[in-house]
């Protein structure tokens, strides 16, 4: 062995062998490293986390200066605090999942000019005028006599006479209804709208309802109600005023003129509402739909089909009636769309598409559902229901079947899904009655009061309209429709617990019981990942240094025979 010297120092690190290059044992060599976590690393990191954590009481668990009893006390205290906060957070999560919607009053008042005046449908309870009925009985055709019995009598053979093809039978029935019913210009004699006299023929239009031929005010055109208005059995009424595509969800555009249908109220009070004078023509009564005589009236959404028979209120001739209107406006926030439909219990317009109607409302959905069920059970629909042009219109023989279908449908209105998987429309569509309310909707409540027309003094000329006072008090009714307040409070439907509210509630509980904050999460992640990894790396580097030192100072054996 030859020792190399340099600068008066001996380096035993180089061993020279003849014919070979010297080998450097002290040079750094790449060692195969295996990183693993042992109990010491975890224990040390956990102790450091406990001593430096921002959570209340946790630093006492890692203190070596405390007695075991003291540590036990803080362990129990910490567990109690964590369990209590977890219990209240569980309640918070339950509310978030089960009752995520809250309905509250809007902090801002809504002006009447932002909503439409209600659509008003009025019907005379007289099914057929006496003069026309007597003329039909005397000189009318066979089909007219049968139709007259159909309108006024329980037992009839109309269903056996009218053809099954609706395209040929319905025009006959519609023509007969127009002939025997009281026309709008004879029912409504005077109209005052926004304090100005109007031509009643222009602002009221004839409409077919479940009560027969009626007159409606402020209802938009059929083209804006039905998807295919040519399939509707309603009358092709002419509208002298422009109708706009208004919906409860979209509302009015800022530049919409006031003279576009649906019209808007100008303010509160009877002088800014609608006043009409109705003529019952009691001498023309031949048969009534009720046990009394007079009119039926209902207030509804301008894009809905009204149902008068079940929901109309009565107005008697010989009385002056005030109908005070109270609107109910429901508005939904955009955030509500993120909540499941079953939990928020309402539909947005683009979530539930109706087959016949363009705009989803609960009433339109119910009417369509009733039409689907009647068609399924009776293979026909009533004349006032939405339908296709090829669908047969029910005759009198189908009334019992239609009533049973209606009853079956109404008992399932609360279901959110199809009534029965085996119930299918002939076209293949499933008739469903998941008619939840619309998320954005408007309804009109009314308070009705009446006073009998005077028989002892002269009545205003604009009410009598040149008729005999006794005839006026017997046959005519004066009705005022108006709002009582220029502004009202709408109802807002929104999230009760959104993501922000959930984080705030849970963070507040954790902060109250444990001192938890947002940075506590990163603190825990730091000790579980980066801190633990650095501890392992330091231990590994320390071990490598120790191994190298031991290798350097290890005594070497010299073999003489190598020289």
Residue 546, CB-side half-sphere exposure with 13 Å CA sphere: 6
Please report, in tens digits, the pLDDT of each residue of the chain (563 residues total).
444 444 444 444 444 444 544 444 444 444 444 455 566 667 667 767 666 676 777 777 766 777 778 778 878 888 888 888 888 888 877 777 776 777 788 889 999 999 999 999 999 999 899 999 999 999 988 888 888 887 787 544 444 444 444 444 677 888 888 899 999 999 999 999 999 999 998 899 998 898 988 999 999 988 899 988 776 666 656 677 888 999 999 999 888 888 899 999 999 999 999 999 999 999 999 988 888 889 999 999 999 999 898 899 999 999 999 999 999 999 998 888 888 888 888 999 889 889 899 999 999 999 998 998 899 889 998 888 888 878 888 877 888 898 888 887 777 665 554 444 334 434 344 445 788 999 999 999 999 999 998 766 566 666 666 677 788 888 999 999 999 999 999 999 887 766 676 777 777 777 777 777 666 666 667 667 776 677 776 666 676 666 666 666 665 555 554 44
Separation of alpha carbons 276 and 463, rounded Å: 9
Three-class HEC string of 114-127: HCCCCEEEEEECEE
Reading the block at residue 525, the tokens are 């992640």
CB-CB contact of 333 with 494 (8 Å): yes
Alpha-carbon gap, residue 384 to 310, rounded angstroms = 14
- H or E segment to which residue 423 belongs: none
Task: Report the Cα 349 to chain-centroid distance in Å.
Answer: 8
- Put the strands of the sheet holding 313-315 in their side by side order: 204-209, 212-217, 119-124, 295-300, 313-315
Q: DSSP code of 118?
A: P
Contact call for residues 235 and 225 (beta carbons, < 8 A):
no
What pLDDT does 13 receive? 44
In the block, which residue shows the tokens 């005839």? 471
Instruction: Give the residue from 162, 310, 168, 372 showing the smallest Cα distance to 380.
Output: 372
Backbone dihedral angles phi then psi of residue 61, each to the nearest 5 degrees = -70, -30
pTM of the model: 0.73
Structure tokens given for 66: 């405390």
Rounded Cα–Cα distance for residues 204 and 217 (Å): 5
- Report the alpha-carbon distance of residue 370 to residue 408 in Å, rounded: 9
Rounded CA-CA distance 158/399 in Å is 11
Q: What are phi and psi of 484, to 5 degrees?
A: -100, -15
Residues 380 and 387 sit within 8 Å (Cβ to Cβ): no
Please tell me the predicted confidence (pLDDT) of residue 2.
42
Q: What is the pLDDT of residue 122?
A: 96
Unique residue bearing structure tokens 């350097």: 552
Smallest Cα–Cα separation from 363: which of 311, 403, 305? 305
Widest CA span of the chain, in angstroms? Answer: 152
Q: Which tokens in the block code for residue 370?
A: 């009733």
Compute the distance between CA of residue 290 and CA of residue 535 in angstroms, rounded to an integer.
Answer: 91
The Cα–Cα gap between 527 and 522 comes to: 9
CB 436 within 8 A of CB 416: yes
DSSP 19-88: TSPPEETTS-----------HHHHHHHHHHHHHH--STTGGGTT-SSS-HHHHHHHHHHHHHHHHHHHHH
Q: Which of 480, 120, 118, 446 is nearest to 308 (CA)?
A: 120
Tokens 């068609």, residue?
Answer: 375
Angle CA 435–438–439, to nearest 5: 140
Rounded to whole angstroms, the Cα distance separating 166 from 160 reads 14
Mapped onto helix, strand or coil, the DSSP state of residue 557 is coil
- 8 Å CB contact between 115 and 264: yes
Q: Quick one: pLDDT at residue 17?
A: 45
174 and 233 in contact (C-beta within 8 Å)?
yes
Compute CA distances 556 → 15, 513, 552, whole Å: 11, 65, 10
Whole-angstrom distance, CA of residue 302 vs CA of residue 262? 7
- For residue 472, the surrounding DSSP H or E stretch is helix 469-475
- How far from the centroid of its chain's Cα atoms is residue 515's Cα? 40
- Residue corresponding to tokens 């003329």: 135
């Amino acid at each position: 062995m030859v020792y190399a010297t340099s600068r008066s120092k001996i380096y035993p690190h180089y061993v020279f062998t003849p014919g070979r290059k010297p080998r450097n044992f002290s040079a750094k060599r790449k060692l195969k490293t295996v990183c693993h976590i042992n109990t010491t690393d975890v224990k040390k990191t956990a102790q450091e986390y406990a001593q430096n954590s921002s959570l209340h009481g946790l630093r006492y668990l890692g203190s070596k200066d405390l007695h075991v009893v003291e540590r036990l006390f803080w362990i129990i205290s910490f567990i109690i605090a964590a369990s209590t906060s977890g219990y209240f957070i569980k309640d918070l999560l339950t509310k978030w999942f089960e009752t995520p919607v809250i309905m509250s009053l809007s902090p801002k008042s809504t002006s009447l000019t932002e909503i439409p005046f209600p659509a008003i449908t009025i019907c005379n309870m007289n099914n057929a005028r006496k003069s026309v009925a007597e003329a039909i009985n005397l000189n009318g055709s066979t089909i007219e006599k049968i139709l007259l019995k159909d309108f006024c009598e329980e037992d009839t053979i109309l269903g056996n006479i009218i053809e099954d093809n609706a395209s040929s039978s319905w025009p006959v029935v519609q023509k007969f209804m127009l002939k025997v019913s009281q026309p709008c210009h004879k029912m409504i004699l005077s109209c005052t709208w926004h304090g100005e006299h109007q031509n009643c023929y222009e602002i009221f239009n004839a409409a077919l309802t479940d009560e027969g031929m009626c007159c409606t005010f402020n209802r938009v055109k059929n083209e804006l109600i039905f998807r295919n208005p040519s399939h509707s059995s309603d009358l092709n009424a002419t509208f002298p005023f422009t109708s706009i595509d208004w919906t409860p969800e979209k509302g009015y555009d800022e530049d919409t003129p006031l003279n576009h249908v649906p019209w808007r109220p100008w303010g509160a009070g009877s002088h800014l509402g609608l006043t009409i004078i109705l003529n019952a023509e009691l001498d023309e009564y031949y048969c009534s739909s009720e046990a009394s005589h007079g009119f039926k009236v209902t207030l509804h959404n301008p894009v809905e089909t009204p149902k008068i028979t079940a929901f109309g209120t009565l107005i008697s001739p010989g009385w002056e009636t005030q109908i005070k209107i109270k609107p109910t406006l429901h508005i939904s926030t955009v955030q509500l769309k993120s909540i499941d439909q079953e939990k928020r219990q309402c539909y947005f317009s683009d979530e539930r598409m109706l087959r016949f109607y363009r705009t989803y409302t609960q009433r339109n959905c119910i009417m369509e559902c009733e039409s689907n069920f009647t068609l399924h059970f009776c293979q026909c629909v009533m004349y006032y229901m939405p339908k296709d042009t090829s669908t047969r219109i029910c005759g009198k023989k189908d009334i019992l079947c239609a009533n049973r279908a209606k009853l079956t449908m109404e008992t399932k209105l609360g279901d959110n899904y199809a009534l029965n998987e085996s119930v299918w429309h002939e076209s293949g569509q499933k008739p469903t009655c998941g008619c939840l309310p619309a998320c954005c909707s408007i309804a009109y409540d009314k308070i009705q009061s009446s006073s009998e027309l005077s028989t002892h003094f002269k009545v205003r000329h604009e009410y009598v309209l040149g008729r005999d006072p006794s005839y006026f008090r017997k046959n005519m009714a004066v009705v005022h429709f108006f709002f009582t307040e220029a502004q009202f409070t709408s109802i807002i439907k929104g999230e009760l617990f959104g993501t922000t509210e959930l984080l705030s509630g849970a963070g507040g509980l954790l902060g109250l019981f444990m001192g938890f904050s947002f940075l506590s999460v990163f603190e825990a992640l730091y000790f579980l990942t980066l801190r633990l990894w650095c501890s392992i790396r330091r231990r590994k580097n320390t071990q490598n240094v120790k191994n190298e030192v031991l290798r350097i100072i290890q005594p070497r054996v010299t073999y003489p025979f190598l020289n």
